């Protein structure tokens, strides 16, 4: 199953994924890929298999990296994310997490190449994606029937169990 999680900034998309990982691992599922929780004025990429961390994005305009909107994207964070996704594809993870697909991926950069590889597998894939990117992203994969969940303040506490229920039923 290919799942997209979307919602406004700050609503808890990454926190939802962290909860799904927790539930899945309690049930014996192996999770891999990358999550990027907020850290200070940016985010940190975390490899779910190894726990390795790298800064992914910062609002510090003096930082080195790729400028995207209000952020500077750290190339070491991208490298860690790509490696985490590749390892999840190759090393038997039952669920691959990709956090997140945003403006950088629109041009085929960032995590997009690995997201494309993950889409070609039979594995369950959960992708955090910006709402304004949904149509464009799904259009790049016409043969895939994505299941999209929009997280909001009203449903965010129940959504992890709902998503796991659907994965169990698939």
Structural domains of the chain ordered from first start: 2-36+44-49+76-169 (3.40.50.300)
For the full predicted model, state whether its pTM sits above 0.85: yes
d(CA 169, CA 152): 24
Phi, psi of 56 (to 5 degrees): -100, -45
Encode pLDDT of 35-73 as tens digits: 999 988 999 999 999 999 999 999 999 999 999 999 999
Predicted confidence at residue 92, as pLDDT, reads: 86
What Rg do the C-alpha atoms of the chain give, in angstroms?
Answer: 15
Encode pLDDT of 63-110 as tens digits: 999 999 999 999 999 999 999 999 999 998 999 999 999 999 999 999
Contacts (Cβ under 8 Å, ≥6 apart) of 154: none
Predicted confidence at residue 170, as pLDDT, reads: 77
Q: By percentage, how much of the chain surpasses pLDDT 70?
A: 100
């Amino acid at each position: 199953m290919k799942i997209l999680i979307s919602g406004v900034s700050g609503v808890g998309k990454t926190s939802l994924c962290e909860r799904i990982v927790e539930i899945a691992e309690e049930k014996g599922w192996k999770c891999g890929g990358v999550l990027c929780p907020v850290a200070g004025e940016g985010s940190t990429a975390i490899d779910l298999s190894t726990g390795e961390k790298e800064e992914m994005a910062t609002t510090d305009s003096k930082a080195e990296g790729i400028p995207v909107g209000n952020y500077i994207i750290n190339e070491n964070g991208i490298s860690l994310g790509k490696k985490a996704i590749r390892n999840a594809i190759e090393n038997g993870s039952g669920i691959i997490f990709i956090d997140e697909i945003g403006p950088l991926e629109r041009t085929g950069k960032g995590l997009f190449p690995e997201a494309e590889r993950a889409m070609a597998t039979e594995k369950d894939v959960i992708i955090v994606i910006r709402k304004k990117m949904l149509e464009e992203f799904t259009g790049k994969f016409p043969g895939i029937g994505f299941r999209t969940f929009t997280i909001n303040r009203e449903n965010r506490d129940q959504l992890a169990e709902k998503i796991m229920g659907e994965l169990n039923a698939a």
